Amino acid sequence: MPRPITHLYRGLDRDRDAIAVAGPGDPLTYAELVSAVEAVAAALQSLDDEPGSRVGICARNTVEHLIALLATYAAGKVWVPLNPTNGRADLDRMIAATRPSLMIADESTLDRFSATDAPLVLAKTGDAPPGVPTLRGLIEEWRGRTPTVIDRHNDDAQIIKFSGGSTGVPKPVVQPVRCVNAQVDGILACFGLEASDVNLIAAPLTHGASCFVLPILSAGGRHVLVEDPKPPRVLDAIESHGVTTMYAPPTLIYGMLGDSSARTRRYGSLRHVIYSAAPMRPEQIREAQRVFGPVIETAYGQVEAPQIVTAMRAGELLRDENVASIGRPSPVAEVAIMGPAGDLLPNGESGEIVVRGPLVMSGYLDRPDMTAQTIVDGWLHTGDLGLIDSRGYVFIRGRLREVINSGGFKIFPGDVEAVLAKHPAVAECSVFGVADEKWGEAVHAAVRLVPGVLESAPELIAFVKAELGSVKAPKVVHFVPELPRNAAGKVSRAAVRAMVERI
């Protein structure tokens, strides 16, 4: 299997003079990007000559960040993405768990984590402190030199990302070489990316947006980065660069839709607006289709099996029977529904979504016990509850450990949220269980109302009861100004529950 960095060279071979990075700043051709990446990769090997050592990168969406990421691959090292929007304590825990031998960070993010003994390279910087190497300095110093080629095997680590989902403490996930290559193959196969694609990187490079870096380069397309992804800047970039493709978690799409200029812009270049990380309500999907055009697509994955377990193209998502689905399995993942006893269930029955194939992680770093609980007989247990219909489309119903057991009835939070979200007064909601003397667990809902629309808790409860019955209807509705999210933009049920308990 090729090294993941081979995908960059495929783009170079297609057209070395094509634009690989269009902004911000001066554009870079494939030849110029490869030259910069090779220079930094050679420098990283000089700073640390241990093959397979780890490079922590804490940076925003900058060209420097993109070059550093690719150089880490080219140097035969392991990328440890560190999102600067995480809290300092979280980043310090991530660094302690992964023990990077090199650190690369924007000057503006140095206060986001505690200093380490690892050599530091500044990515984007103003006036660098004396004696601290900068990425741009390394490019000039090492220009023309190439890194030593480090053979990478299928199960060698390539990325260590952290997974926390909607609950729990983040866990270090080891994505091996085969996983990264499978992800590239799956994304290219599912979305048909090509050399004419202009990909907007507005979501954090440390998360889902990074999954599209290599596929776009492999196809010979170009990237545009937005460092500060405020909705007006994202919308400006779509228009000014003729963006065709972007990965956007729902929170980014909502922000774009909420911008006052969103409905007066031109989106004729768009072909793929791919959302994942969290579900979108049918009404929100339809609104996005009305504003941006019939270009909304979706994918499903976890850090443990990234991005492309399932996918659905824009034409499929226009059909009402598909609007609540996450699509069909990709060519690089086998998907099944498993019952509590470990038996695979037929289509139409609900159980845990399990995945196997080259896309699956090799395990949790230094946690063989946790790995053995999550990967059983080759199947990755996602913790997501769902079903596969007779057509092969996958539907998620909630998280396994978030199922509410109320009075002996099992209630899927996602089922309740889907109904509650239909109410015109509800902008966003999260449903969860709270310990209750009578019921064991009682169904509670946290609701953010549409601005200027007033609604009472009894009316919302009655609205759900009319469709789902009294057992599944919330016993209590909490009105909140915002729903807390994790660094990936997902609503965190644990944080919602904790917030409500403090009210």
The answer to whether residue 231 scores a pLDDT higher than 50 is yes
Task: Give residue 116's Cα distance to chain centre.
Answer: 27
Q: How many CB atoms lie within 10 A of CB 408?
A: 8
Q: Above pLDDT 70, what percent of the chain? A: 98
Identify whether the C-beta of residue 161 lies closer than 8 Å to the C-beta of residue 305: no
State the pLDDT at residue 154.
95
The answer to whether residue 257 scores a pLDDT higher than 70 is yes
The span from the CA of 372 to the CA of 190, in Å, is 30
Q: What is the mean pLDDT of residues 399-410?
A: 76
The span from the CA of 368 to the CA of 244, in Å, is 42
Q: How many CB atoms lie within 10 A of CB 319?
A: 10
How confident is the model over 451-482, as pLDDT tens digits? 888 889 999 999 999 888 888 899 999 999 99
Structure letter (DSSP) for residue 346: P
Confidence band for 157, pLDDT divided at 50, 70 and 90: very high
Place of tokens 């006893």: 341
State the pLDDT at residue 413.
87
State the pLDDT at residue 2.
83
Q: Is 340 helix (H, G, I), strand (E, B) or coil?
A: coil
User: What is the end-to-end Cα distance of the chain in Å, rounded?
Assistant: 54
Q: What is the mean pLDDT of residues 286-296?
A: 97
The answer to whether residue 47 scores a pLDDT higher than 50 is yes
The span from the CA of 193 to the CA of 47, in Å, is 36
The answer to whether residue 167 scores a pLDDT higher than 60 is no
Question: Whats the size of the chain, residue-wise?
Answer: 503
Identify whether the C-beta of residue 330 lies closer than 8 Å to the C-beta of residue 190: yes
pTM (2 d.p.): 0.85
Identify whether the C-beta of residue 76 lies closer than 8 Å to the C-beta of residue 92: no
How confident is the model over 51-104, as pLDDT tens digits? 999 999 999 999 999 999 999 999 999 999 999 988 888 899 999 999 999 999
State the pLDDT at residue 164.
62
The answer to whether residue 303 scores a pLDDT higher than 70 is yes
Q: What is the mean pLDDT of residues 154-173?
A: 81
Q: How many CB atoms lie within 10 A of CB 468?
A: 18
Q: What is the mean pLDDT of residues 257-283?
A: 92
The answer to whether residue 168 scores a pLDDT higher than 50 is no
State the pLDDT at residue 495.
86
How confident is the model over 314-327, as pLDDT tens digits? 999 999 999 999 99
Q: What is the mean pLDDT of residues 194-208?
A: 95
State the pLDDT at residue 488.
66
Q: Which residues of 184-215 are buried (b: 16+ CB within 10 A; e: fewer)?
A: bbbbbebbebeeebbbbbbbbbbbbbbbbbbb
Closest Cα partner for 252 from 271, 227, 234, 226? 234
Q: What is the mean pLDDT of residues 158-164?
A: 90
Please give, one letter per residue, the 3-state secondary structure of 361-401. Answer: CCEECCCHHHHHHHEECCEEEEEEEEEECCCCCEEEEEEHH
**Could you tell me the domains of the chain?**
6-386 (3.40.50.12780), 404-502 (3.30.300.30)
